[in-house]
């Protein structure tokens, strides 16, 4: 058997940007699609789980417990295990088990489970007096959720969204193991399999800078959305 010396295969330093830029675009595309799905599904699902719980607007233990268990299962599974376990479902939905489309399915499931818990916990922090005032004003359950609970919890939700986005970047790198593209694929193919340390270091630098920028923007949004009175109390 002929053994290829993969250690000798390296990318010239001046060609690394040409390798990383398309991979970065693929990562941004994956995370953007996933976070759009997470927002659309996670916010109403989190509000539903919160208000089905004891003390919620429409308390119902029969629906709350199984729904909560399903979310907990999706939240507790390591992403690599989840991604592997649902390959048949991913193939059914997308027609493939490789590439960006195949990565979006397990990433969305994991992201929704994670973000739903964040929304649920954020809504728990809303003072009961806010809900009482909304009820006294004659608001329906849907109106109370969207005009009282969620706006009051918005800073915490945005903070959780920042954490979730960073987690999805991490998951996108894991998805590189199934050929999903992005920075994870570059790190695995060039940095790990070919022992190209220059590519690996460059990939790490791009990921660190990206995560730092997302955290800065997220923190700024939270400060903007937090009422001045609350900021003074927290100081």
| % pLDDT > 70, the chain | 93
| % pLDDT > 90, the chain | 48
Query: Taking the C-alpha atoms of 201, 204, 209 and 212 in order, what is their torsion angle to the nearest 10 degrees?
Result: -140
Q: What pLDDT, on a 0 to 100 scale, did the predictor assign at position 230?
A: 52
Q: What pLDDT, on a 0 to 100 scale, did the predictor assign at position 162?
A: 96
Q: Nearest to residue 130, comparing CAs of 154, 155, 149, 145?
A: 149
CATH number of the domain residue 162 falls in:
1.10.3720.10
On whether residue 233 sits in a domain, the answer given is no
- Least confident range of 86-95, 114-123, 166-175, 181-190: 181-190
Residues 6+ apart with CB under 8 A from 43: 115, 119, 150, 157
On whether residue 8 sits in a domain, the answer given is no
On whether residue 151 sits in a domain, the answer given is yes
Q: Nearest to residue 132, comparing CAs of 20, 211, 55?
A: 55
| C-alpha dist (Å) from residue 129 to 46, 47, 232 | 20, 18, 21
Q: What is the DSSP letter of 176?
A: G
On whether residue 3 sits in a domain, the answer given is no
- Contact yes or no for 218/155 (Cβ under 8 A): no
With bands split at pLDDT 50, 70 and 90, how would you rate the model's confidence at 4?
A: very low
DSSP for 19-35, written as a single string: HHHHHHHHHHHHHHHHH
- Least confident range of 86-90, 93-97, 117-121, 225-229: 225-229
Per the prediction, the chain carries an average pLDDT of 86
Measure the CA–CA gap between 34 and 83, rounded to whole angstroms: 14
Q: What pLDDT, on a 0 to 100 scale, did the predictor assign at position 2?
A: 33
On whether residue 99 sits in a domain, the answer given is yes
* Tally of domains within the chain: 1
Burial class (CB in 10 A: 0-12, 13-18, 19+), 92: exposed
With bands split at pLDDT 50, 70 and 90, how would you rate the model's confidence at 183?
A: confident
On whether residue 232 sits in a domain, the answer given is no
CA terminus-to-terminus distance, the chain: 67
On whether residue 119 sits in a domain, the answer given is yes
The parent domain of residue 218 ranges over: 17-226
On whether residue 128 sits in a domain, the answer given is yes
């Amino acid at each position: 058997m002929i053994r290829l010396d993969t250690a000798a295969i390296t990318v010239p330093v001046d060609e690394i940007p040409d390798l990383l830029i398309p991979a970065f675009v693929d990562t941004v595309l994956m995370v953007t699609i996933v976070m759009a799905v997470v927002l659309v599904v996670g916010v109403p699902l989190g509000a539903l789980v919160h208000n089905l719980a004891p003390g919620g607007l429409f308390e119902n233990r029969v629906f709350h417990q199984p729904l909560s268990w399903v979310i907990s299962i999706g939240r507790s599974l390591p992403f690599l295990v989840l991604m592997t376990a649902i390959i048949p479902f991913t193939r059914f939905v997308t027609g493939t088990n490789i590439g960006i489309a195949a990565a979006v399915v397990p990433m969305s499931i994991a992201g929704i489970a994670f973000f739903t818990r964040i929304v649920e916990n954020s809504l728990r922090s809303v003072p009961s007096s806010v809900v009482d005032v909304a009820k006294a004003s004659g608001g329906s359950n849907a109106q109370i959720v969207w005009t009282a609970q969620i706006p009051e919890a918005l800073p915490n939700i945005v903070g959780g969204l920042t954490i979730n986005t960073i987690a999805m970047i991490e998951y996108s790198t894991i998805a590189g193991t199934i050929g999903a593209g992005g920075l994870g694929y570059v790190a695995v193919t060039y940095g790990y399999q070919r022992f190209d340390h220059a590519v690996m270091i460059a990939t790490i630098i791009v990921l660190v800078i990206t995560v730092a920028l997302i955290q800065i923007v997220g923190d700024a949004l939270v400060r903007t959305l937090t009422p001045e009175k609350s900021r003074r109390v927290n100081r």
